[in-house]
């Protein structure tokens, strides 16, 4: 059998096609690079979520990845508020991490911050940096030189809404299955205590309110009273700025487990919980009886009906909003400050409109070296029962109390009296004189 020879032109064309195909395959391999593993999720991965009061959250989770012979890149997705410089990936050898979206700094435009300088303190809304720090205070912009700033406290962090962050983790791990432990710090969500106090029974309830949550399924939740010490990550010329936070703690209910880590008081929910993005969760944290003392108070304006709350619980109370009830009737609200064990806070319930207080000047003597002023305070009680009321006044600068009837308690330039006023229109008078020196 005689073989026919292909024409030279045909041979060249076939050879070029084969060569082109090989080059194309090789080039495709180069362009595609090593095979990657992408962890695709419909919700943000989380096994444990630790939420601080200052608007930061620490997230951890574990995932199993299958490394094949050519796997060099593992891809993760993180929430928009994740601080990628805090990212840790353990359980596999990491050569490099690459972020395909800019991570956010600690301070965002709109954050409510307190800026401490050597001379004074500023509280307002963070605008940004333009060589100096810009902060909005009462519709005015203050410019603060960075070299004068000693610390920054974040009072409220704004929520960030933007696409998730893709992170590529390069590895040279050998083939096999690996359990990867991932952890990072992020902006939001935050939690705050909300108190309910029954003035009749002295029963105090505390709820943990958690806002700006992610889509987290079946996670272990821990809330921390207070916030972490963090280092400011923004661009500031030669200034080292720190965020300082107080550490506070709560008396926890049986559904939560209390623990301490360094200076933190942590409270972990014993059951798993699921969050949906955009929802707010309200969880009962603790309850117990406290000691109450009711008091009427006046220093100007309307008479205030307020209560002294003696913290008889086993741990301090965190700063938060307190709602005041009488049984099932709501009567008012106020802010309760951080209250250590056996210490007390004072909260305003409402205004006592049936108690009227008036102050007037009934004596004025002007001499070359001094002025003598006499003031009279008239308290009238239109309630159906007798009341006791605390009256407070301040002396002007360079002044000294000369006389008072009844006798006043003097502390620095503050004068106070506690007097009884009879019911049904009863009247009590306070008279005091003071001198102000001229020099």
CB atoms within 10 A of CB 397: 8
Strand order in the sheet with 399-405: 355-366, 370-381, 426-437, 399-405
* Confidence at residue 306, expressed as pLDDT on a 0 to 100 scale: 96
Domains, the chain, in order of start with CATH, read: 355-437 (2.60.40.290)
What is d(CA 319, CA 335) in angstroms, rounded to the nearest whole number? 7
The CA distance from 320 to 286, in Å, is 14
CB 61 within 8 A of CB 182: yes
244 bridge partner residues: none
Identify the CA nearest to 349 among candidates 330, 375, 368: 330
261: which 2 tokens? 């880590």
Maximum pairwise Cα distance, the chain: 142
Alpha-carbon gap, residue 264 to 347, rounded angstroms? 26
Using the structure block, give the residue that is written with the tokens 């603060």.
144
Q: Which two tokens stand for residue 143?
A: 């410019």
How does pLDDT run along the chain (439 residues), one tens digit per residue? 333 443 434 433 434 333 344 333 333 333 334 455 655 554 568 999 999 887 788 999 998 888 887 667 888 888 878 888 788 999 999 888 888 655 445 677 888 888 888 888 999 999 888 788 899 998 889 898 888 887 777 777 666 666 678 888 888 888 889 999 999 988 878 888 999 999 999 999 999 999 878 888 899 999 887 766 554 444 443 333 333 333 333 344 557 777 766 666 678 899 999 988 878 888 988 889 999 999 999 999 999 999 999 999 877 788 889 999 999 999 999 999 888 889 999 999 999 999 999 999 999 999 989 999 999 999 999 999 999 999 999 999 989 999 999 999 999 999 999 999 999 999 999 999 999 998 7
The contacts of residue 272 (CB under 8 Å, 6+ apart) are 218, 219, 220
Q: What is the pLDDT of residue 105?
A: 56
pLDDT at 253 (0 to 100): 54
Say if CB 281 and CB 337 are below 8 A apart: no
Contact at 8 Å (CB) between 303 and 350? Answer: no
The whole-angstrom separation of Cα 296 and Cα 305 is 5
Q: Find out whether 115 and 133 touch, Cβ atoms under 8 Å.
A: yes
Q: What pLDDT does 1 receive?
A: 38
Report pLDDT for 33.
45
- What tokens appear for 162 in the block? 């933007």
Q: Which of 344, 347, 302, 343 is nearest to 323 (CA)?
A: 347
The candidate with the shortest Cα–Cα distance to 317, out of 295, 294, 335, is 335
In this predicted structure, what is the pLDDT of residue 188? 79
Beta strands in 146-228 (DSSP E): 149-156, 165-171, 176-187, 190-198, 203-211, 216-225
């Amino acid at each position: 059998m005689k073989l026919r020879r292909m024409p030279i032109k045909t041979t060249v064309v076939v050879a070029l096609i084969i060569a082109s195909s090989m080059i194309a395959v090789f080039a495709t391999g180069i362009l595609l690079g090593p095979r990657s593993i992408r962890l695709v999720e419909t919700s943000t991965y989380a096994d444990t979520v630790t939420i601080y009061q200052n608007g930061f959250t620490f997230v951890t989770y574990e995932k199993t990845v299958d490394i094949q012979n050519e796997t060099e890149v593992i891809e993760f997705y993180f929430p928009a508020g994740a601080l990628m410089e805090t990212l840790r990936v353990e359980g596999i050898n990491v050569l490099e991490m690459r972020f395909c979206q800019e991570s956010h700094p600690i301070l965002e435009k709109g954050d409510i911050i307190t800026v401490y300088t050597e001379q004074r303190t500023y509280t307002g809304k963070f605008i940004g940096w333009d060589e100096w720090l810009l902060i909005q205070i009462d519709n005015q912009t203050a410019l603060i030189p960075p070299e004068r700033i000693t610390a920054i406290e974040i009072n409220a962090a704004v929520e960030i809404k933007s696409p998730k962050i893709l992170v590529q983790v390069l590895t040279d791990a050998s083939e096999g299955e690996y359990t990867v432990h991932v952890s990072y710090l992020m902006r939001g969500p935050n939690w705050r205590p909300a108190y309910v106090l029954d003035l009749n029974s002295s029963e105090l309830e505390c709820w943990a309110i958690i806002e700006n949550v992610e889509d987290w399924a079946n996670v272990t939740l821990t809330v921390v009273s207070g916030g972490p010490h963090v280092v400011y990550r923004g661009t500031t010329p030669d200034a080292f700025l720190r965020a300082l936070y107080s550490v506070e703690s709560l008396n926890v209910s049986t559904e939560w487990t209390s623990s301490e880590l360094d200076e933190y008081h942590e409270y972990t929910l014993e059951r798993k919980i699921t969050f949906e993005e955009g929802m707010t969760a309200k969880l009962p944290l603790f309850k117990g009886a406290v000691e109450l003392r009711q008091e009427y108070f006046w220093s100007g304006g309307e008479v205030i009906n307020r209560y002294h709350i003696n913290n008889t619980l086993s741990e301090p109370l965190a700063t938060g909003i307190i709602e005041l009830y009488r049984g099932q009737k709501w009567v008012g609200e106020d802010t309760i400050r951080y209250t250590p064990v056996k210490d007390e806070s004072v909260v305003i319930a409402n205004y006592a409109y049936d108690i009227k207080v008036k102050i007037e000047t009934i004596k004025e003597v002007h001499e070359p070296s001094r002025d003598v002023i006499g003031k009279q305070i008239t308290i009238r009680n239109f309630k159906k029962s007798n009341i006791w009321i605390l009256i407070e006044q301040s002396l002007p600068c360079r002044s000294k109390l000369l006389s008072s009837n009844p006798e006043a308690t003097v502390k620095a330039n503050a004068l106070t009296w506690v007097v009884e006023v009879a019911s049904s229109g009863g009247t009590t008078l306070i008279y005091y004189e003071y001198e102000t020196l001229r020099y």
